[in-house]
Amino acid sequence: MAKNILFIHTTFLSGGAEKVTLDISNYVKEQGYKTHIIANSFMGIEHLDLITHKIPENYGDIKSLKTAEYIIEIINKYSIDIFIIPVEILPFLDLIKKQTTAKIVFIQHSVPFWEYKFEIYYKEKRSHKNLWKRAGWYLFNCPKLFVLKTKLKALIYKYKTVYDLCDSYITLCNGYRDLLIEKLELNINEKKIKVIHNSQAPIQIDKSNLNKKKQLLFVGRLSYEDKRVDRLIDIWNKLYKKYPDWELIIVGDGPEKSEITNKITRNHIERIRLEGYRTNVEQYYKDASILCLTSNFEGWPLCLIEAQTYGVVPIAFDCVAGINEIISPSWSNGILIKPFSIKSYVSALEKVMSDSNLLEQMRINVINKKNIYSPDLIKEKWIELFNSLNN
């Protein structure tokens, strides 16, 4: 008898979380699992072996009560064994738990309590618009967010509620597991929280992956609250005149695109290519020497793992446990920079851009690290989890 798993997304297929969903689906297919997807919208799924359920437009987003009732209907109609929630915390999860028999798995695709960090940086950006908003930021928002921490306390309560309702809680690295145990005041030997990395399929390394161009590369969404690509523009502005044979390639799109374009034009910065969104970024990884990440926070950034797989040396601020685990030890598998020092970032890039032997040795190191993210290893963990839940 076929077993059924159900994932929920806002838009499918649109980003890293959806890629992980596809990976999990493929891992457990041979175990007899059929994959169902609930989402507000779908795109580019024609060739995929999935059963899709589009949320009716008048039901609202995935957090509405009507959507919760729709989820219950789908779970019961299709005898869903495991309901998997990536990223979003659903407010009516208790209702779903009461009215279905499906096991519930929550996947923490980002750093725990990322919502708190996002709100801080969102309100900080809005305060830039004028003097009154900036005064309001320092007088009202800052005390609430940093001193009283009322928002964080409410978020911790919400996380604890989800944790209590789900049957398994997945984090991306041990550091995130430890953070949850601390903040939710759980037993240190808690078994419900499991660590499962995102995987990266190995590629055949040939000379084309080692004969790199003098390129810095960014791959990702152009957004302020998390990615902060504006920092990378400032960093490049301090480097490009000193290194005339290097260039910066930015692959991605998002709400900050116009801001970034204006910043480049306003400061007359040269040798930056804005490539926009690309479904296939393989050639960019094959060409580039260094991948640059300048984020405020991340979860388990796939771009770092993809870069290592293609022999691209990653550099990033050491701002979350996920980044630290992927890149450590610094100056071996990549470069970790003290958050959020532009000066240190520039200095590190100058060192590696000026020393081809150092860059070559690090390139060999990162390629050798690829086996840690082997799909075969990750696959076994998901199969073990699903089988234990069904038993």
Weakest-pLDDT range from 72-76, 84-88, 175-179, 385-389: 84-88
> Distance (Å, rounded) from C-alpha 127 to C-alpha 186?
37
- The closest alpha carbon to 332, from 319, 313, 318, 316, belongs to 313
The pLDDT confidence band at residue 4, using thresholds 50, 70 and 90, is very high
DSSP state string for 100-116: ---EEEEE--SSTTHHH
Is 70 exceeded by the pLDDT of residue 141?
no
- The C-alpha atoms of residue 141 and residue 358 are separated, in whole angstroms, by 45
Distance CA(289)–CA(196), nearest Å, equals 29
How many Å apart are CA 204 and CA 169, to the nearest integer? 34
Q: Count the Cβ atoms, other than its own, within 10 Å of residue 374.
A: 15
* Confidence check: pLDDT of 208 > 50: no
Closest by alpha carbon to 10, among 78, 79, 90, 69?
Answer: 90
The pLDDT tens digits of the residues spanning 9-52 come to 999 886 778 888 999 999 999 889 999 999 999 988 878 889 99
* H/E element, 233: helix 229-237
Q: What is the pLDDT of residues 86-96, one digit of tens each?
A: 978 899 999 99
Task: Name the segment(s) of the chain with CATH classification 3.40.50.2000.
Answer: 3-113+152-199+374-390, 207-373
Q: What is the pLDDT of residues 160-181, one digit of tens each?
A: 999 999 999 999 999 999 999 9
> What is the C-alpha to C-alpha distance for residues 191 and 184, in angstroms, rounded to an integer?
14
The pTM of the full predicted model, rounded to 2 decimals, is 0.85
DSSP 168-231: EEEESSHHHHHHHHHHTT--TT-SSEEE-PPP-------HHHHS--SEEEEES---TTTT-HHH
Q: Could you tell me if 313 and 291 are in contact, meaning their C-beta atoms sit under 8 angstroms apart? A: yes
Whether residue 347 is predicted with pLDDT greater than 60 in this model: the reply is yes
Residue 124's pLDDT band (cuts 50, 70, 90): low
| Cα–Cα dist 10/21, whole Å | 13
Task: Tell me how far apart the alpha carbons of residues 155 and 145 are, in angstroms, rounded to a whole number.
Answer: 12
- Yes or no: domain 207-373 corresponds to CATH 3.30.70.260: no
More confident position, 46 or 225:
225
371 burial type by CB count under 10 A (0-12 exposed, 13-18 middle, 19+ buried)? exposed
Model confidence at 144, pLDDT cuts 50, 70, 90, reads low
**What Å distances lie between residue 213 and 203, 216, 248, 333, CA to CA?**
19, 9, 11, 19
Amino acid sitting at position 107: I
Mention the CATH class of domain 3-113+152-199+374-390: alpha beta
**215 φ/ψ angles, rounded to the nearest 5 degrees:** -130, 135
